[in-house]
Amino acid sequence: MLEKKLQDFLTRNNGLNLLRIDPELVYLDKEYSFRGGRVDILAVKNGFPVAIELKAKNYSSSQVAGQIINYLNFLKNKNGSVYLVAPKIKPGIISTLREYSNTRFFEFDEKLHFYEINEANKNKKFFFFKIPEYHSNTIQEYVRTPIARLMSKGIQRILKL
């Protein structure tokens, strides 16, 4: 799956599919630019920013580690986190970034099930979160309401992003 398609999937319906990765994420923006670069998806979890970096199959481990460190430097004064989402987390990325407790790594399969990967379980996958069952009309109606849009803008202002 290409990064753009994955990004579109996760951010559709005001980021509803981000709940497949972490049920506490609130979508803010995609392709968010900051002084040091651009992050694929910007979200908030419990009032703190989360930069989500998406990768397709072919990526350089050292380049991705550099991007993640760049995002962490951008977010350090805001107590932010960085999530890396890829079909396969390459060896070395987790061990290179293990000193950063605010990084999380997720793999996904062809059915778009997401699995958290860490040093303790890097050789085995487990299902992390399943999207909660909502009445589709209810959530779709909610994300289109002015209050949902205001909440998203208000969170951005609070974080001064």
Q: Supply the pTM of this predicted model.
A: 0.74
Burial class of residue 13, CB neighbours in 10 A (0-12, 13-18, 19+): middle
Alpha helix segments (H runs only) across 16-159: 61-75, 93-96, 136-143, 146-159
Instruction: Classify domain 3-159 by CATH architecture.
Output: 3-Layer(aba) Sandwich (3.40)
- Asked which of 11-15, 70-74, 101-105, 114-118 is least confident by mean pLDDT, the reply is 114-118
pLDDT for position 121: 54
Structure confidence at residue 52 (pLDDT): 95
Give the chain's mean pLDDT: 78
pLDDT above 90 (res 41): yes
For the stretch 46-91, pLDDT in tens is 999 999 999 977 888 888 999 999 999 888 888 899 999 999 888 7
The answer to whether 106 and 87 have CB atoms below 8 angstroms apart is no
pLDDT band at residue 33, thresholds of 50, 70 and 90? confident
Of 29 and 154, the structure prediction assigns the larger pLDDT to: 29
Residue 125 has pLDDT above 60, yes or no: no
pLDDT one-digit tens code per residue, 102-114: 899 999 888 888 8
Q: How far is the C-alpha of 90 from the C-alpha of 59, rounded, in Å?
A: 9
Q: For residues 75 and 132, what is the distance between their CA atoms, to the nearest angstrom?
A: 29
Which among 16, 74, 86 is positioned nearest to 50, based on CA atoms? 74
Between 87 and 138, the higher pLDDT residue: 87
